[in-house]
Structure 1
Amino acid sequence: MYYEQARNFIYKNARPLDIARWKYLFENGSKEDILIALTAYQNDDGGFGNALEPDCWNPNSSPVQTWVATKIIKEINLEDKNHPIIQGILNYLSSGKDFDGHTWSNTVATNNDYPHAPWWNFEISQETSYNPTACFIGFILKFADKNSKLFELACSLAKEAYSYFKIHFPMDSMHTVSCFVELYEYIKESSMNELLDIEEFNTLLHQQIQHVITYDTSKWTVDYVCKPSLFIGTKTSDFYMQNKEICDYECEFILNTQESDGTWGITWSWADYPEQWNISKNWWKSDLIIRNVRYIKEIRG
């Protein structure tokens, strides 16, 4: 692997947040530096915007951009329930903003006012999606006060979400599936197994993951496809052993497809805002470097 080239690309092109992530994950950097950088994307309502999700330049809080913040919290194993960033997210989720009583919106109307990828365009009639709601349910179960109305709501929503998952099983949306994998992991971590049939959930997710993974690896370099790393980040994952062969293949694929500048090709684009896309593309390249280097480190050791 071109580790030095990857590192140099990060230092030359990445956002301060992603430089801090790189340092923390690979250079014994400070968790606090990530949190300081992350705070810059958080709004007064506790939600996140400001292109934290690089395909959406909406400065206003939205569920999807707030979900990205929860992923970073998970990445650095922040456990302090009283941390201002976590409390802010819980305040946003409990406010009812962008929430219909069952799910948080996948897109928001103000997205349309700013540069964004077409998949973040807001339309009035939208189908129910558990992306990112399933993740938020798990986040609340982990971090909210167990005596709060928000925690009580999350317990109820977990059962609704699981019912939806079983009715729509198997799903074809890899991102929605990844949200259910996150929910499963949060429930296990929070020892909330009594909320639903965790063994059944485990069995169904094994089948579900294998349903959506793109096994035609000839498509991996050219199309936006589903790779195992979307669901499996470590050897300790409940889903690693059953997918070991394709996970190991992804390691080889990552090593064989790195560009000489240390990056990997981005297999998607958006045409409406070419100037902003060129900036976002570099942000995505930095994020992909971090994810790929971490994946190799976790799976290959």
Structure 2
Amino acid sequence: MEVINMHYVKARDFIYKNARPIDMARWKYLFENGSKEAVLEALSTYQNEDGGFAHALEPDCWNPHSSPVQTWVATEIIKEIQLEDRNHPIVLGILKYLASGKDFNGHTWANTVTSNNDFPHAPWWEYEPQQDLSYNPTACLIGFILKYADKESYIYELACQLVQEAYSYFQDHFPLDSMHTVSCFVELYEYMQECQFTQLLDMEEFKTLLTQQIQHIITYETSKWAIEYVCKPSLFISSKTSDFYEQNQKICQFESEFILDTQEADGTWAITWSWDDYPEQWAITKNWWKSDWIIKYVKFLKEFHHSSISSIE
């Protein structure tokens, strides 16, 4: 337990010295009895008048114009703090943006947008005309709409149509090779389970396919974990109550030990990717990611490591 506590203290010190206000508020909410209101206040500074999000909320893209991916990051934070208020201004703004048709082709929201190219960004957020459908982040956004939108609204009716299309895509392209797209489908499944939208899809079949999909895409060659950007179980499984935990229990336990073994002296964990075109901005961005990964890893330890619960409270 003392070992776990040492990891926590080092991580906390880094957060307090380096984190953005949004990540400081998240840390305090998750581990120090901080308020949802403080998280939402910090989050609101990234929201534009059109309801979408921008301004490097996703640190690898410094575009100040709204985009689906940046907006998806906002929905992840809303999910993290378990906001249930469907009428919160931030939620209503997101729904307004998604219903506007902006960055939407009738089937999916764009993964990248043209204005990304005008601002510092990682190469994977470079805009190129999209040849194929991408359900990253669309599958997550569909789930968000199903949870929060008024059932009489246009955007809700649209989401009920889109979820059928998304699932057909998943079936037709199974197994997927993009870990981030897989994680979006896992989140869609979890939104639907939470809201009991079992009439829209065959949820047992969906669960079976996702179980196989997760085991297909996790990087089991664990020697790569510390040096490459690879697929670990934490991308899909955040709780022992997850429908996908039982089949992946051993690899989740391995990841918790891996986290303990690889924390660096300053309390952070290695960021295993980079972008070269904007070195000054990348240096700042890398620091932002360190705080985000600290939160991710400490959450994972708290949930999965056998000696962590009493120490990280």
Under TM normalisation by the shorter chain, which class is it? over 0.9
State the alpha-carbon separation in 2 of the partners of residues 248 and 55 from structure 1.
Answer: 29
Per the alignment, residue 106 of structure 1 pairs with 111
CA distance in 2, matches of 1:85, 1:292: 27
Q: Describe the shift of the 1:151–1:125 C-alpha distance in structure 2 as closer, same or farther (beyond 3 A).
A: closer
Q: Please give the alpha-carbon distance, in whole angstroms, between the structure 2 residues aligned to 1:148 and 1:137.
A: 14
Q: How big is the shift at 1:127?
A: 2.4
Q: Percent sequence identity over matched residues?
A: 72
Which residue is equivalent to 1:272? 277
Partner of 2:91: 86
RCO greater where, 1 or 2, for CA within 8 Å and sep 6 or more? 2
Counterpart Cα distance in 1 of 2:210 and 2:79: 20
Q: Which runs of 5+ in 2 are unaligned?
A: none
RMSD: 0.6
Residue 199 of structure 2: SS of its match in structure 1? helix
1:153 matched to 2:161? The reply is: no
2:29 to 17, 21, 24: 24
Tell me, yes or no, if structure 1 residue 283 matches structure 2 residue 288. Answer: yes
Gaps (5+ residues) in structure 1?
none
Equivalent residue, structure 1, for 2:52: 47
Deviation at 1:81, TM superposition (A): 0.1
Correspondence list, 1:161-240, <5 A: 161-240=166-245
Q: Aligned partners of 1:124, 1:201: CA distance in 2, in Å?
A: 30
Q: Distance in 2 between matches of 1:196 and 1:111?
A: 35
1:48-103 CA-partner distances (Å, limit 9, x unpaired): 00000000000000000000000000000000000000000000000000000000
Matches of 2:20 and 2:244, distance apart in 1: 32
By how many angstroms is 1:298 displaced?
A: 1.0
SS of the residue 1:262 aligns to: coil
**Aligned partners of 1:212, 1:179: CA distance in 2, in Å?**
14
- Correspondence for 1:261: 266
The C-alpha deviation readout for 1:270-294, integer Å capped at 9, x for no partner, is 0000000000000000000000000
2:125: which partner in 1?
Answer: 120
Deviations 1:163-205 (A, max 9, x none): 0000000001000000000000001111111101000000000
Structure 1 counterpart of 2:102, from 66, 72, 97: 97
Q: Per-residue deviation at 1:135? A: 0.4
Q: Cα distance 1:125–1:233, how it changes in 2: closer, same or farther (>3 A)?
A: closer
Deviation of 1:108 (Å)? 0.1
Q: Which amino acid aligns with 1:218?
A: S
Superposed displacement of residue 126, structure 1? 3.4
Deviations 1:205-232 (A, max 9, x none): 0000001000000000110000000000
What TM-score, normalized by structure 1, do the two folds share?
0.99
State the aligned residue count.
Answer: 301
